[in-house]
């Protein structure tokens, strides 16, 4: 995680999904961050090698960072990552990512927008949810459903 802290989160990042099959590509003025999201799956073939090759060719002049993002309950290990060509990838947990981005701003054009802020907040909310244990996730879902049902009953009661 220390290497990740070197990244300037004040950079103007764009979040791009599924570019060249890369789950998340955070493109900043000075940095490019590749995030391979592994919630419930393992490493597929040589995907890590392909993503690294693409980014190194496409973004020659930017600092490059490669991560496998997983919850603590994931089964991907350093050994498995390295065996599949991921020597330059760091394993990053959702909790670590949340701590870094929870106070960051989304400014892909150099300024904040209402819609961009909404999407970025949803991104942060999703990270917060996935970092939870399965038990806490179930509790949150149950609480949300209970609140929705109470609202429905209040509307129907009027």
- The pTM (predicted TM-score) of the whole model is 0.66
Q: For the segment 18-39, what is each residue's pLDDT rounded down to a tens digit?
A: 999 999 898 888 889 898 988 8
Q: For the segment 76-97, what is each residue's pLDDT rounded down to a tens digit?
A: 888 988 999 999 999 988 888 7
pLDDT at 5 over 70: no
Cβ–Cβ < 8 Å for 76, 38: yes
Host H or E run for residue 145: helix 134-157
pLDDT at 155 over 90: no
Task: Report in angstroms the alpha-carbon separations of 29 from 7, 22, 62, 108, 115.
Answer: 11, 19, 8, 9, 21
> What's residue 10's pLDDT?
67
Residue of 106 and 3 predicted with greater confidence: 106
- Alpha-helical runs (H) found in 45-84: 47-58, 78-83
- What span, in angstroms and rounded, lies between the C-alpha atoms of 158 and 142? 25
Report the pLDDT averaged over residues 50-65. Answer: 93
Closest listed residue to residue 109, CA positions, set 100, 99, 97, 117: 117
Count helices and strands (H / E) in the chain.
6, 5
- What span, in angstroms and rounded, lies between the C-alpha atoms of 144 and 138? 10
> What's residue 2's pLDDT?
46
> What's residue 1's pLDDT?
42
């Amino acid at each position: 995680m220390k290497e990740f802290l070197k990244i300037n989160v004040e950079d103007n990042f764009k979040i791009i999904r599924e570019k060249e099959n890369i789950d998340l590509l955070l493109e900043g003025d000075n940095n490019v961050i590749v995030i391979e999201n592994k919630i419930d799956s393992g490493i597929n073939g040589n995907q890590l090698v392909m993503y690294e090759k693409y980014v190194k060719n496409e973004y020659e002049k930017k600092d490059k960072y490669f991560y496998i993002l997983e919850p603590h309950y994931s089964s991907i290990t350093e050994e498995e990552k390295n065996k599949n060509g991921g020597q330059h990838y760091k394993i990053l947990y959702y909790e670590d990512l949340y701590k870094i981005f929870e106070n960051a701003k989304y400014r892909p054009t150099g300024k904040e927008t209402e819609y961009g802020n909404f999407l970025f907040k949803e991104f942060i909310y999703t990270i917060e949810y996935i970092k939870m244990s399965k038990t806490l996730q179930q509790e949150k879902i149950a609480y949300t459903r209970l609140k929705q049902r109470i609202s429905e009953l209040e509307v129907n009661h009027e």
